[in-house]
Structure 1
Amino acid sequence: MSNIVDQYRITKEPYYRAVGDEVELYEAAYSVRMPMMLKGPTGCGKTRFVEYMAYKLNKPLITVACNEDMTASDLVGRFLLSAQGTEWQDGPLAIAARHGAICYLDEVVEARQDTTVVIHPLTDNRRVLPLEKKGELVNAHPDFQIVISYNPGYQSLMKDLKQSTKQRFGGLDFTYPEHAIETEIVAHESGVDADTAGKLVSIAERSRNLKGHGLDEGLSTRMLVYAGSLIAKGVAPLAACRVALVRPITDDPDMRDALDAAVTTFF
């Protein structure tokens, strides 16, 4: 294995609490190198899941946080000026395809559609990446796999994935875990006791009921871990929830009052 992707290996097992058969399904998908699409709300564990699977399969993982300014060259590669003249530098997708890593495009719908079409030849039976500027066709390494994630509830119609892209992928749905499992995750990740973790999850569940009624998104598991970490460091629960849960999610005074009230109910 080339050294270039060794830096992308995950050396310590990430904590991931399975909630269904997603681990087995992903392993089966990887065994046939099926491109995978992870769908679900922000902060519910999609990225952690990919990290865990890359660790379990012992494959390097190259993650790209997609954004609307990202060009195809950012993914594929470009010529750069150097002292010797110009030299080609592979982008993250080309590195993964060439050297057999898993390439994870996080929040892929944030990228422009002309950028996402560059993944098409890698996600069908061709498994090739044309480097048009360089006049090279990269045949994907046998270990290469592409994984994308997105948040279906958050996209405007302008920003959904095209059918021609979606139909190249297998799909796994992610959502916030049920109460007991989420409590276990928050306690494990933040270091608070199960009782405190359970209260944080209850606050989050109330906020998720407000989605579409003043909140774009409910509180994520990730935010609960932040709040728990502050409480574990000795910050008073009310203050920790204000800083880690209520203030980041909304600027609307009425929504803040409603969330503050939920916090005081439990703490």
Structure 2
Amino acid sequence: MIQNDLDSLTVTDMDAGELFSGSASGRLIKGYAAPCSYTPRIDRDYLFHESMREIVVWLLSTPEERADPLYIFGPTGSGKTSLVRQLAARLNYPVFEVTAHGRLEFPDLAGHLSVQNASMAFQYGPLALAMQYGGIFLLNEMDLLDPATATGLNGVLDGGPLCIPENGGEIIHPHPMFRFVATANTNGASDDSGLYQGTLRQNIALMDRFWLCEVGYPDPTTEESLLERMAPDIPHELRKSMVSFANEIRRLFTGEGDTQKYGETIEVTFSTRTLIRWAMLTIRFQPLSRQGIQPIRYALDRALGYRASRETRAMLHELAQRMFPTSTT
């Protein structure tokens, strides 16, 4: 049934401006006429930030131009994966997604033999399906992948076919709509900050094949607009203060705080998803204000503080006390 769903995909042209900004631009971008079971759902509350422009330009490359594979890197929780999903959702693009780890092997991507109906049959992996049917292969946390395994992707990254020895030497030539996207916290040169344990330095020849795109946290205006949509019951000035608090924690996480010494960091950060969780929990815990408990600081522990060390959590409480001395929603 899934194969029939993928077989029915029909390529179509869409107006890029109308699709992403609501105003027709005359610049056409290729997508699919209808979604399939692998197409992400559109999040109507999602707000695109400035980094989308680079990825849209990358998507505008025609199949004849054969766009380079894309490597998106940036801090945790900055929205790298969700940005790709939401762009794909609006283009009805199927996304075949896998998260890398140190034990991931090439057959996990291409496919392997498995038992089906009491007999052995070959099961295609996400990379093979994306190449065969013209989808986006999304490899998350690529800098956790063993460089030797990653090097096995070089031929595919160059636009070559995928050979599957386990399936009788089958050759899968890339569909014209096939796209390869990798996301990571580092730029592939390993992590010298100590923030992302387990990341590995990738082969320079592998990284040379990618178009690199850096995605940071959304600007304050974007996050304030997002909170306005998600938590309109929180007063405007309080939402602004919450965004300011989140950005201060991010600076402390990256060692850029005003009072931090060189190399000094904290072990947690405020992703956009954590910011939204904090706002939603603040609203849920509002009844506690009648018991003398401040909802915004109570929710902070549940959204972030309990993940921190005792020292960092105390610092969060001290900062929250200064920024939210008596605030309630």
TM-score, structure 2 length as denominator?
0.73
Q: CA deviation at 1:144?
A: 0.8
CA RMSD after TM alignment: 2.3
Aligned residue in 2 for 1:164: 205
Specify the code of the residue in structure 1 equivalent to 2:148: D
Task: State yes or no: 1:28 paired with 2:57.
Answer: yes
**Structure-to-structure mapping, 1:206-245, within 5 angstroms:** 206-211=248-253, 212=255, 213-235=264-286, 236-245=295-304
Between 1:226-235 and 1:188-197, the stretch displaced more is: 188-197
**Structure-to-structure mapping, 1:99-248, within 5 angstroms:** 99-126=133-160, 128-134=161-167, 135-152=169-186, 154-155=195-196, 159-193=200-234, 194-211=236-253, 212=255, 213-235=264-286, 236-248=295-307
SS at match of 2:40: coil
Between 1:49-58 and 1:203-212, the stretch displaced more is: 203-212
Residue by residue over 1:78-120, the C-alpha shift from the partner in whole angstroms, topping out at 9 and shown as x without a partner, is 0012345311000111111111111111111122223322322
Choose which of 3, 7, 26 in structure 1 pairs with 2:5.
3
Q: CA deviation at 1:124?
A: 1.1
Q: CA deviation at 1:262?
A: 1.3
Q: CA deviation at 1:33?
A: 3.0
CA distance in 2, matches of 1:44, 1:257: 25
CA distance in 1, matches of 2:224, 2:248: 15
Q: CA deviation at 1:60?
A: 0.9
Q: 1:111 to 1:158 in 2, by over 3 A?
A: closer
Q: 1:92 to 1:158 in 2, by over 3 A?
A: closer
Q: CA deviation at 1:156?
A: 6.0
Residue by residue over 1:219-241, the C-alpha shift from the partner in whole angstroms, topping out at 9 and shown as x without a partner, is 21111111111123244111111
Aligned residue in 1 for 2:314: 257
Residue by residue over 1:153-211, the C-alpha shift from the partner in whole angstroms, topping out at 9 and shown as x without a partner, is 54469612221121111111111122222222233345553333222212222212222
Q: CA deviation at 1:2?
A: 4.4
SS at match of 1:133: helix
Q: 1:8 to 1:83 in 2, by over 3 A?
A: closer
Q: CA deviation at 1:55?
A: 1.7
Number of positions where the alignment pairs a residue of Structure 1 with one of Structure 2? 263
Give the % identical residues: 24
Q: 1:63 to 1:232 in 2, by over 3 A?
A: farther
Q: 1:240 to 1:156 in 2, by over 3 A?
A: closer
CA distance in 1, matches of 2:230, 2:202: 33
CA distance in 1, matches of 2:143, 2:133: 25
Task: State yes or no: 1:43 paired with 2:100.
Answer: no
CA distance in 1, matches of 2:68, 2:90: 17
CA distance in 1, matches of 2:199, 2:55: 29
Contact 1:208 1:219 in 2 (8 A): yes
Aligned residue in 2 for 1:54: 88
SS at match of 2:229: helix
Between 1:112-121 and 1:5-14, the stretch displaced more is: 5-14
| Greater share of residues in helix | 1
Aligned residue in 2 for 1:96: 130
Q: 1:227 to 1:186 in 2, by over 3 A?
A: same
Contact 2:285 2:299 in 1 (8 A): no
CA distance in 2, matches of 1:109, 1:40: 12
Larger radius of gyration: 2
Q: 1:247 to 1:113 in 2, by over 3 A?
A: same
SS at match of 1:7: coil
Q: Which runs of 5+ in 2 are unaligned?
A: 8-35, 256-263, 287-294, 325-329
Q: CA deviation at 1:45?
A: 1.1
Contact 1:191 1:229 in 2 (8 A): no
